[in-house]
Amino acid sequence: MGTNLRALAATGAAAGLLTTALLGASPAAGARAEPTPPTPRASDTAAAAGATGPAAGAATVGGERLAGHGVIAPAGFKAPPKTESSAYLVADADTGAVLAAKDPHGHYLPASTLKTLTAVTLIPRLDKDRKIKPSEKACNVEGSAVGIVPEPIYKVDDLMRALLMVSANDAAVALAEANGGLTRTLADMNRQARKLQAYDTVARTPNGLDAPGQRSSAYDLALIARAGLAMPAFREYISTKVAKFPAPKDYGKKKKKKHHDDSDPSESPAPAYYEMANHNRLLGRYKGMLGVKNGWTSKALGSFVGAARRDGHTIIVVIMHHPGGFWEEVSKLLDWGFAARSRVAPIGELVRPVPDPTPSSSALAVRPTQTPGAAGGTGGDAHRVAGREPAGSGPVVPLFAGGGLVAILALGGAYARRRRSRGEDPSGG
């Protein structure tokens, strides 16, 4: 019996080790853990409150040269044109090659260039033909606006066009409401930023109006613009020069229509439209200009994300924290990008989005769905403020928790039955 007990104990120990291996090992083949991104460098010129520095030895997204604060340029080619902006980046959107930059990972207030993230996040989520009735709150948002009213006369398509063409802060809030509210939309935006590996970016508003903790970088805005350029709807919105926007005629009043038979007049609102023109001054002026988005606030100063295409190649230029007019400087940076594209060694790269996780084909480990975080998905967690989730996406559901004990009990039961069949006392007395 002693020999049998020792064998049973050894079997139980082996089962326990197996359970530990199952619970503590990496996900089974086909399952992918949530990636732990490299931490971008926090700039000394960070404009967002609460920005935190990287862990010691952390890699810089896009390449180590992009950790620099000053101008970063390739060797053996003419220097990039000068600009008054505190940060900029020039990249080849097709290859992802970063051609030149200045403080590319520096944290700055993005102003309305953040609307590019709003669009990239919501275009796949909202039916463009869906009708929306904005709230009074959305209609009264400060700053640049398209002038919406709380009437169900707008399609998502109308509001998205206003968002990217005329920087409509009111349209941004109305779209956020259509997506389930500000809290959900900000969580979606920050999740989208992490998927794009735009770890410098923290969204606190859907329209880019300055808010504590909100930030982005020239590098991140290039990533977001590149993602947008891959969307046909995004490309259409940013390249539209003039469009009609619906508005009720004589809002608050009804147009009375007299019947021919002199019966009582009926009341019917008359649809009306007005034109809006794209704020991008380079559309139609710079050869090959595709557009994207400009922005300005008194704290953020001027910012711009632009893309142009020539001879089958697209160049992206981003500038941030510019004190004055920047259109001519952007044009020169674009010219330089097209000239340098095939002649210089890249100083870094625009990384690709994180692949979607592949559902596990194994029954050994199941990961629960994460509960969405608070607005912005950034809470007070240092990891979230840095634009990343804690490693992993939650504990493995312990389908095999106590597996060693289960194995021992099963073996013990079999051993007891065996003893009973021999006439032995299973209690061991």
Cα–Cα distance, 425 to 416 (Å, whole number):
8
Closest among 226, 216, 228 to 121, alpha carbons compared: 228
Instruction: Say if residues 269 and 248 touch (Cβ distance below 8 Å).
Output: yes
Tell me what pLDDT residue 50 has: 36
- The response to whether 244 counts as a known ligand-binding position is no
| The predicted structure's pLDDT at residue 389 | 35
Q: How confident is the model at residue 251 (pLDDT cuts 50, 70, 90)?
A: low
Domains in the chain with CATH codes:
65-250+272-349 (3.40.710.10)
Dihedral angle of Cα 160, 165, 168, 172, to the nearest 10 degrees? 30
The tokens for 289 are: 């200009």
5-19, 137-151, 219-233, 309-323: least confident range: 5-19
Q: DSSP string of 259-296?
A: -TT--PPEE-PPEEEEEEE-S-TTTTTSTTEEEEEEEE
CB 365 within 8 A of CB 237: no
Reply yes or no on whether the pLDDT at 222 is more than 90.
Answer: yes
- The pLDDT tens digits of the residues spanning 41-93 come to 433 333 333 333 344 456 999 999 999 999 999 999 999 999 999 999 999 99
Q: For 387, phi and psi rounded to 5 degrees?
A: 85, 25
Helix, strand, or coil here: 298? Answer: coil
Q: Which residues belong to the active site? A: 112, 115, 167
Beta carbons within 10 angstroms of residue 164's beta carbon: 29
Instruction: Give the dihedral sign, CA 164/186/303/65.
Output: negative
pLDDT band at 373 (very low <50, low <70, confident <90, very high): very low
Write out pLDDT tens, residues 288-313. 999 999 999 999 999 999 999 999 99
Choice between 413 and 99, residue whose per-residue pLDDT is larger:
99
Query: CB neighbours of 188 closer than 8 A, spacing ≥ 6?
Result: 121, 122, 125, 179
Confidence of residue 394 (pLDDT cuts 50, 70, 90): very low
What CA–CA distances, in Å, run from 105 to 59, 145, 223? 12, 30, 12
* pLDDT in the model for residue 272: 86
Instruction: Name the band, by pLDDT with cuts 50, 70 and 90, for residue 148.
Output: very high
Q: Is the pLDDT of residue 379 over 70?
A: no
**pLDDT given at position 170:** 98
Which is more confidently placed, 259 or 26?
259
- Percentage of the chain surpassing pLDDT 70? 65
Greatest mean pLDDT among 252-261, 264-273, 306-315, 416-425 lies in 306-315
Q: Which pLDDT does position 168 carry in this prediction?
A: 98
Range ranked top by mean pLDDT from 124-138, 240-254, 409-423? 124-138
| Mean pLDDT for the chain overall | 77
pLDDT of residue 270: 52
Mean pLDDT along residues 411-429 = 40
